[in-house]
Amino acid sequence: MRTIQHFIAGKEVAGSGTRFGEVFNPATGEVQARVQFANQADLDHAVSAALEAFPRWSGTPPVIRARVMYRFKQLLEENMDKLSEIVTSEHGKVLSDAKGSITRGLEVVEFACGIPHLLKGEMAENVGTNVDSWSLRQPLGVVAGITPFNFPAMVPMWMFPVAIACGNCFILKPSERDPSASNFMAALLKKAGLPDGVLNVVHGDKEAVDAILHHPDIQAVSFVGSTPIAEYIYHTGSSHNKRVQALGGAKNHMVVMPDADMDQAADALMGAGYGSAGERCMAISVAVAVGDKVGDTLIEKLAPRVRGLKVAPGTDPDAEMGPLVTRQHFEKVKGYVDLGVQEGAKLVVDGRSLKLQGYEKGFFLGGCLFDHVTPSMRIYKEEIFGPVLSVVRVPDYGEAVRLVNDHEYGNGTAIFTRDGDAAREFASRIKVGMVGINVPIPVPMAFNSFGGWKRSLFGDHHMHGPEGVRFYTKLKTVTARWPTGIRAGAEFVMPTMR
């Protein structure tokens, strides 16, 4: 059986860890590989390689670092199909979705290609008599990223291209459920000319995560995952004097106003609710129908389409939705559907009994649709992370806003309406980090920054874009005056510019 090893100092290496994890093909339920889990010695090896590479890489002119990113971008484009196949094989998402997610990661690489401009500081001449002042942004050193299973190529690319372009060296700990994409990208970066040790990949579970959080030579940690783990990452990393950005869970609402285009809203809910089998932190999992008439219309339009979803292995060109990532996650999502029925929600479409001929052992769950969900139910409160859409009915716009603002998560939200005043007011009042107006999944482009509010984000910085550059650099301000040959003598008061 194939063993997935670590990628350290420019090559795949067998670590000293003796524990392994299984990597499944979600469509068949079969184990297709095993991945070696890192121990403390393996992480120390990766950090040592990064520390050795840092002085030279951080001293490399930004324009040279940008050229490596340009070559990496070209190699990603040339290997798009291969990387998509790797993602689909281990995660299960359909090939078109895998390719789309890689494209969104590629956009961050394109952004990082502009690093010479992004690192420019500010200069002020003659802030005092013959005194100039300027600022610069310098890399932190060795930084790390811990990434989730749902986007094994995209989310790492939301981290390491910006960090590396800024002059840092990077330790990537991808999800142990679908680890191969990270090794593939690391090999492409080496081919693009990245010096050995600048990007290292260590695989593992909580042992590897804790080793990263406690390592004294790792200066910053980026994380994307569930809220309980994000909070743990934030508090543990911060207590060890690390800079931390930890993106957590979500319960994204889409408010549908009575004046909305209902066909457009239904299309949006289908794609945003069931795309990638709902395994997205930006998936719409709650449709807020403003008025019972809107609720009835949405259910009428959604129900037949949810029943008719083309669920198949991700390699099927006609597939709209693939399997869930593991049997464990399948059971978790199915358990939430069971719970919703127990709580009294109306299960309009039940996908629990889906079976695909020839793929009976695969982790397939059909689309599920609940109506008359209330805020007191756990299926409303908690992140399900599967193909389960809940319709909540509210009497008016004010109640819809209150519902969204009162939820503990604040990652993404959307409103569908033809009313410009309502849309503008919604964007202003809503307590959520990313807002869509007639856009169901408002993921910002790479030159903006991604992140939520409330318990969807721990830390002060959002991800990629200008916020990413700020996170992976530290600010230095220089104030200079050159002697003119006239010495005024020592001064013992607070310096002032005059």
Which residues are part of the catalytic machinery? Answer: 281
Q: Are 157 and 186 in contact (CB under 8 A)?
A: no
Q: Are 287 and 390 in contact (CB under 8 A)?
A: yes
Question: Which residue, 400, 430, 409, is CA-closest to 249?
Answer: 409
Residue by residue, DSSP assigns 54-120 as HHHHHTS-HHHHHHHHHHHHHHHHHTHHHHHHHHHHHH---HHHHHHHHHHHHHHHHHHTTHHHHT-
Encoding tokens for residue 278? 């709902």
From CA 110, how far away is CA 107, in angstroms rounded? 5
| Measured torsion, CA atoms of residues 194, 195, 199, 200, in degrees rounded to the nearest 10 | 130
- From residue 319, how far is each of 101, 260, 333, 385 by CA, in Å? 16, 29, 20, 19
Q: Burial of 207 by CB count in 10 Å (0-12 exposed, 13-18 middle, 19+ buried)?
A: middle
Question: Which residue, 214, 187, 240, is CA-closest to 44?
Answer: 214
Q: Are 367 and 387 in contact (CB under 8 A)?
A: yes
Question: Which residue, 49, 23, 253, 220, is CA-closest to 139?
Answer: 220
Q: Where are the alpha helices (DSSP H) in 286-439?
A: 292-307, 327-343, 378-381, 397-406, 420-429
Encoding tokens for residue 126? 């003659």
Evaluate the CA torsion angle 440, 451, 237, 142 in order and state its sign.
positive
